[in-house]
């Protein structure tokens, strides 16, 4: 099992990138009561049968590791959501893409901590590949209501001259932390 909600999100985002997506969309919304996340991609998608199999922890399609018999990303998420009284969904169409969404109620004792959100975005944005990634982050504002900001991988990569050099990643980290300010 993962420790924090951010870890579940990164795992799902990695799946999206590995599915050959050209576009990945992440919405990460937190209110006082719950955390809701959706990750959508236009990667290779799954048939209904493949989708069912992806929820079986003792199944892997064998493309990443030939002799591996486990695939734990989605099963971890489903188990954690069920334990914490949350909800989750996986919608997928073969050749069109996949959307994974989940919601955790903060009041439940089994709800994992949110984790380090700027750290999640840093790791997600710097996953290798030529894809676009759009992130929308919504938070409860200090004075009531909500505030939001958006990030676009192509813009950040252009501003930083790529997202691989440690100095660029350190600057990106500062930038992402500053976006969490009210």
Partner 1 sequence: MAKMSLEQLRKLREEKKQDLTRREVEGKEIQIIVGMGTCGIAAGAKETFDAVVKAVEEKGLGEQVIIRQTGCMGLCYVEPTVEVVKPGMPTVIYGKMTKDVAKDLVAKHLVEGKLLDDHIFDRPAADIMKK
Nearer to partner 1, 17 or 101 (CB): 17
Q: Total residues contacting partner 1 (rule CB under 8 A)?
A: 44
Q: Which of 10, 54, 55, 47 is nearest to 28 (CA)?
A: 10
- Give the nearest distance from C-beta 96 to partner 1 in angstroms: 23
> Going by DSSP bridges, is the β-strand pair 97-105/34-41 parallel, antiparallel, or unpaired?
antiparallel
137 strand-pairing partners: 28, 149
Judged by CB under 8 A, the residue of 39, 80, 84, 120 near partner 1 is 120
44 secondary structure, DSSP code: S
- Residue 48 touches partner 1, criterion: CB under 8 A: no
Judged by CB under 8 A, the residue of 30, 126, 131, 135 near partner 1 is 126
Interhelix angle 73-83/5-18, rounded to 10 degrees, is: 150
- Residues numbered 135 to 174 that lie near partner 1 (CB under 8 A) are 155-156, 159-161, 164-174
Compute, in degrees rounded to 10, the torsion defined by CA atoms 135, 174, 106, 9: 50
Residues that bind partner 1 (CB under 8 A): 1-3, 6-7, 10-11, 14, 18, 64-65, 71-73, 76, 116, 119-120, 122-123, 126-128, 155-156, 159-161, 164-175, 177-179, 181
């Amino acid at each position: 099992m993962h420790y924090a909600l951010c870890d579940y999100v990164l795992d799902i985002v990695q799946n999206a990138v590995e599915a050959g997506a050209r576009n990945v969309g992440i919405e990460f919304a937190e209110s006082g009561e719950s955390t809701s996340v959706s990750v959508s991609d236009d990667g290779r998608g799954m048939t209904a049968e493949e989708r069912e199999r992806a929820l079986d922890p003792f199944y892997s399609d064998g493309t990443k590791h030939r002799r591996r018999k486990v695939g734990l990303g989605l099963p971890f998420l489903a188990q954690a959501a069920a334990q914490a009284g949350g909800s989750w969904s996986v919608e997928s169409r073969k050749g069109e893409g996949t959307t994974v969404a989940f919601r955790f109620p903060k009041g439940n004792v089994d709800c994992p901590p949110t984790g380090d959100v700027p750290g999640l975005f840093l790791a997600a944005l710097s996953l290798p590949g030529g894809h676009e990634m759009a992130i929308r982050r919504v938070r409860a504002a200090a004075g009531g209501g909500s505030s939001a900001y958006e990030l676009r991988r192509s813009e950040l990569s252009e501003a930083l001259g790529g997202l691989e050099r440690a100095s660029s990643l350190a600057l990106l980290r500062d930038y992402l932390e500053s976006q969490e300010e009210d």
